[in-house]
Amino acid sequence: MAVYRIDLDESIHRIITDAGKPNGVCVSPDQKTLYVVSNDNGATGFERLNKGGAAQADKVSTPLRKGHMTLMAYDLAPDGSAKFRRVLVHYAPYDGPDGLLCDKEGNLYVAVRAENRPGICVYSPEGKELAYIKTEVPTNVGFGRGAEIKTLYITAGKSLYRIRLNKEGYHLPNK
């Protein structure tokens, strides 16, 4: 469980190993911060295997124990390495975040799976909550492109939602 960087020469580098169970990453518009969400629900999939190696349907023999449920910020160096800066948001004891992304101003849109408050939380780059969009338990978020750059797409439950915002989404530049 780590975060990897793939360079333009297609080489792969492990850059973060201290993020629990990383589940989503995004880069700030100034490309100086790497945000990582950890939703360490204790499951790896191995606990669902029986002794013969076949997967069991919805039966867990080993109790799950939650780990990191956080939104974290890492300093991103020009060489692509990352250094832990701080935890921006703790979600424990509830389930943590899933997908995330930034708008062009650097605000974060995080799909939060917490049982007590599922939805999309919008945070400043410092981790201050700016807005909340109530949804079913969400899994991911994404901004459209072109004419849809102010449209936020949300996957939640068995559905795909879209909402028009006043902010433009940020996308990493092309090669």
> Is 18 in a helix, a strand, or coil?
coil
> 71-89: string of b/e by CB count within 10 Å (b at 16+)?
bbbbebeeeeebeeeeebb
* CA dist., res. 152 & res. 144, Å (int): 7
**pLDDT at 39 (0 to 100):** 79
Which residues does 11 contact at the CB level (< 8 Å), separation at least 6?
none
* CA dist., res. 142 & res. 99, Å (int): 9
**DSSP assignment string, 35-95:** EEEEE--S--SGGGB-TTSPBPSS--SSPP----EEEEEEEE-TTS-EEEEEEEEE-TTS-
Q: What are phi and psi of 146, to 5 degrees?
A: 60, -125
- Neighbouring C-beta atoms of residue 14, cutoff 10 Å: 9
One digit per residue, pLDDT tens: the chain, 175 residues? 899 999 989 999 999 998 888 889 999 999 999 999 987 654 555 555 555 555 555 555 555 656 678 999 999 999 999 999 999 999 988 888 999 999 999 999 999 998 899 999 999 999 999 999 999 999 999 999 999 999 999 999 899 999 999 999 999 888 6
**pLDDT at 55 (0 to 100):** 55
**pLDDT at 1 (0 to 100):** 84
Indicate the burial class of 50 (C-beta count within 10 angstroms; 0-12, 13-18, 19 or more).
exposed
CATH class for the region spanning 3-42+64-164: mainly beta
**pLDDT at 93 (0 to 100):** 86
Q: Count the alpha carbons within 13 Å of 111 in the hemisphere toward its beta carbon.
A: 25
Write down the residue that tokens 């349907």 correspond to.
57
